[in-house]
Amino acid sequence: MKKEIMDIFFKGYFNKIDNATKLANHNELIISSELITKTNQNGGKVIIVGNGGSASIASHVSIDFTKAANIRAITFNESSLITCFANDYGYQYWVENALEFYAEKNDIVILISSSGESDNILNGANKVKELGLPLITFSGFSADNRLRKTGDINFWVDSESYNLIEIVHQTWILSIVDFIIYKDL
Residue range 7-42, pLDDT digits in tens: 899 999 999 999 999 999 999 999 999 999 999 999
Domain around 94:
3-183
> Would you state the pLDDT for residue 1?
66
**With 80 as the cut, is the pLDDT of residue 179 above it?**
yes
Residues 6+ apart with CB under 8 A from 153: 28, 31, 32, 35, 135, 136, 137
Into how many domains does the chain fold? 1
Q: Assign residue 167 the CATH number of its domain.
A: 3.40.50.10490
Report the pLDDT averaged over residues 38-63: 98
- A 10 A CB-CB count for 82 gives 18
Residue range 112-171, pLDDT digits in tens: 999 999 999 999 999 999 999 999 999 999 999 999 999 999 999 999 999 999 999 999
**With 70 as the cut, is the pLDDT of residue 63 above it?**
yes
